[in-house]
Structures are given as structure tokens and as C-alpha cells.
Amino acid sequence: MGEINDKTFYPCSRNSWTNTMFRLQKDTTYMMPAHFGGYPFDTSYQAQQRATMLAMTFETERAELERYIPEEFELLAPEVQIAFNQLTEINWLAGGHYNLVNVSAPVRFNGKKDHVDSAYPLVIWENRTAPILTGREQTGVPKIFADIEDLHVFRPQYSTSVSYEGNTFLSMHFEAQPPMTGDELEQAKRQFRQLDLIGWRYIPKVGAPGADLSQFILFPQWMEVEKASEGKGTLTWTELAVMQNPRQYQIIKALAALPVKKMIRSAMAEGEVILDTTQARVLA
């Protein structure tokens, strides 16, 4: 994919010879604004990117955590994972980059038809709007905005902070052990082969309470790990005042209040992340 031109990213724009008003085309998928054209729906497409991940998992009180898990799920373990990702060389952003912090719990979806084990993201903060929009509107991934520092790397110390309009609400610090090798590394590689998410796509009614769309969506993804290290991780939440973050302070408050009974694991990993976007499906 060495060449890069109009066709690479936008093959489906309006033909320049048409002289009519805008009409949706068949076999095409659109994002708002739709009237500038869309993309052919192509099942061979995968989103790809380089990732440096810093993930910390802790045990919490089951009842406290279940308050944020919809009834359609079963909580597989009273555990929360907080995973920072520094993403670069993103193919669908033409080589651009962004960072995210994913706060998730392990669940089983128990539908009438589907029974699936997956991570359920409670919230994902990202520092770039474009992937927030695709994540929310295409697959119901609950992404919202925050400023997220690139990792500060003072080997073997790593740190980052997450803030909103100048107000820090989460700091992460990690002290790495030497890189994994041999069997340990192979095991880590296997663990990251499956990073599927379930998003809850919820689009509100207009002019009334309730939803026009409410769906659980399985979104397949995985990481091809190249390097990995365990280490000592520390997480610091800071609750914000209403006026500091009126749209998110209740989320931060809820997460900060989850008791940390035990840090289970902290690890860094580096590799390639693949999102199988077109294989996402609505669960029933």
C-alpha cells in the first residue's frame, strides 16, 4: 500500500460528472455528513496500527462493579482492567496517531441466541475525535474525549496522565521488569490474540426520553505482541468538581470509588493491533 491518493481513503465520493442532488448509493456505508459520499462496504478491510499498551488489572467488589454492568451480561470476575494505548501508524488515519485509556470488565453476554465472553468497556477516553465518532456510531464503543499524554519514558520508569480541560483525573505509573523471553513471552502473545469488545450502541429518541436504537455489538480485535514486560503499576484517580468536567465527573467519581482489593497484574506490551471492523455484529 505504498501509493496513497484519492482512491486510497475515499473511493466512493460523488462522481464529478453527476449533476443531480445527493442520493445514497447501494452497497455503501456512510458517516455523517453522508452527503459528501461514503465508502464501499468491504469485508476485506481491517483497521491496523502499532500499539504500546500499558495495562493494569485489579480486583474490586463485585456488587460495586455490577452497578455499571447491564443486566444482559454476567460479570465473569470482579476485575477491572485499565489499559493505556499509544497508537501510531494507523492505516485508516493515513499514518496518524492517538492515545486511549480503556476501562473494562470481563463479561458474558447472555442473549436469546448469543452467548459470548468478551471485555465490556465501561468507558474509553481518547485524545482524537475521529476514532471516537467511528467507535460510537459504528460499534457502540463508549468513547469520550480526554487529553492523554504520550508515555514519558525514563527507563525503567513509565508514566502518563489523563486530564480534561486542564484537570487531571487519572495518573498511571509503571516500573518495568526486564522484557519477557521464551515461554513467558509466548504465553503473553497467546493472551493478546483475542481482545474482543462488546459495545452498547445507544442512540436517543428525538424530542422524547428513551432510545431509537439500543444494541449490543461484538467487535472482534486482537494484538500481535512483539515485546512484553511485567512490572509494578500504580493508578491514581482524582475526582473532579462538577464545574471542572460537567459531562464526565460522574463517570470518574464512579470509577474512583471502586475499591482496589488487590492489584492483579501490570504489564506493558508492544506490537500490532488489528480491528476486524466489518466482522462486528449485533448480538441477540
Give the footprint of a second copy on residues 213-252 (CB under 8 A). Answer: 213-215, 217, 238, 241-244, 246-247, 249-251
Q: Residue 184 phi/psi, 5° resolution?
A: -60, -45
Among 46, 81, 138, 191, interactor with a second copy by CB under 8 A: 138
Instruction: Name which of 23 and 113 has its Cβ closer to a second copy.
Output: 23
- Do 56 and 266 form a contact (C-beta atoms < 8 A)? yes
Among 44, 63, 113, 182, interactor with a second copy by CB under 8 A: 63
- Do 83 and 148 form a contact (C-beta atoms < 8 A)? no
Displacement of CA 215 from its chain's centroid (Å): 17
Among 111, 187, 194, 203, interactor with a second copy by CB under 8 A: 203
Among 45, 47, 59, 171, interactor with a second copy by CB under 8 A: 171
Q: Compute how many residues bind a second copy; rule: CB under 8 A.
A: 121
Instruction: Name which of 76 and 151 has its Cβ closer to a second copy.
Output: 151
8-state DSSP, 224: E
State the nearest-atom distance from the C-beta of 188 to a second copy, in Å.
23
How many CA atoms lie within 13 Å of 275's alpha carbon, on the beta-carbon side?
A: 21
Bridge-partner residues for 88, per DSSP?
50
Could you tell me which of 120, 39, 32 has the C-alpha nearest to residue 74?
120
Q: Which of residues 73-102 bind a second copy (CB under 8 A)?
A: 73, 88-89, 91-97
